[in-house]
Amino acid sequence: MSEPLFEVTDLQVSFRGRSGPVNAVNGLSYTVMPGQVLGVVGESGSGKSVSSMGLLGLIRDRGATVTGSARFQGRELIGMPDRELRSVRGREIAMVFQDPMTSLTPVYTVGWHIAEQIRAHESISKKAARHRAIELLAEVGIPDPARRVDAYPHEFSGGMRQRAVIAMALACDPALLIADEPTTALDVTTQAQILDLMLRLRETHGSSIMVITHDMGVVSEIADRVLVMYGGRAVEAGTCREVFHTPHHPYTRGLLASVPRIGGEKLHRLPTIPGAPIASSERPTGCAFAPRCAERHDACTMQPLLTGDGHLSACWLTAPEVPA
């Protein structure tokens, strides 16, 4: 078995709250193997986005603290000096966000953005960078790239903008691409195009991909492994097949059941999970899902660990040893 590309251990992200620190991420661990696609799913407030922002040093809030370990190709990212981290971000780890305009400036052309990305990390001439930009736009499927390279972001549709952002992300052949809700703002037919594109790029660039999303369909379509998050922790992890075919955690089961499907039997009533996802400041001690869980019992006042053989779950129902 090869070395993991990216290994996160006991990640904690906390913010200063009105009444003491608020833990947005509370002991998250996972690994990404080379060439693997990891899907991270969860609802609002599960900590799925803030965890990756935290370990890449992208949280601006001065009151935020990030602890734990995040080893990327043998180097520790947490505590890494800003300068060094900046060279890792963009070149070795690229990010794509939900709203492509987060990454694009309306006053510059699409080509400028890509060329700038290349020139920030490599010393090549403007002309060569522009040439690379055109190649990348062609690769992500922008029609007529030699002309479109001089277009401004507003002249692109939403799907084309996201393609341009992916072209920027790929400009330096990153080893890891982190895509945070990359298709959420897009229509379903455009989403299909972007998902296909991401999978194709894994083949051609050999990048590992981490997709953060609320949409389990997206994960099922493109990921090899899934990490289900709730209340700042991973509650279940495994291959897509393991997690979606035989979900272990009651939260995963509830979430899967509440998605209205386009095929299969049309249920009279959708099964629901009572209550709402909890805010990180109101998280109970013990299992965060316990207040909404139909299978709650005495043991749930203690935090279950993420355990298992390959297919992991943080629930006392599946834990090998239940506390007395």
Q: Which residues bind other proteins (CB under 8 A)?
A: 43-44, 143, 157-160, 187-193, 195-196, 214-218, 220-221, 240-241, 244-246, 254-256, 258-274, 276-277
Paired strand residues for 236: 228, 313
* 72: alpha, beta or left? (left if phi > 0; alpha if psi -120 to 50): beta
CB 251 → other proteins: shortest distance, Å?
9
Query: Quick one: angle between helices 158-170 and 188-205, nearest 10?
Result: 10
Tokens of 300: 């749930």
